[in-house]
Amino acid sequence: MEPCSGMPVEKQLAHSRSDENFRKGACHAADWLLQASRTQAAQGRTAKEVSEHLLELVNVLADWRAQMVPLPDGNPWDWSLKDLASVIKGRHQN
pLDDT at 44: 96
For residues 76-83, give the mean pLDDT.
94
Please state the φ and ψ torsions of residue 72, each to the nearest 5 degrees. Answer: -60, 155
pLDDT at 12: 54
How far apart CA 43 and CA 74 sit, in angstroms, is: 27
For 20-68, how does the pLDDT look when each residue is reduced to its tens digit (9 = 90+)?
778 888 899 999 999 999 999 999 999 999 999 999 999 999 999 898 8
Closest CA to 26 of 79, 75, 68: 75
DSSP sequence for 15-42: -SHHHHHHHHHHHHHHHHHHHHHHHHHH
pLDDT at 6: 56
Report the SS3 class of residue 55.
Answer: helix
Q: What is the pTM of this model?
A: 0.73
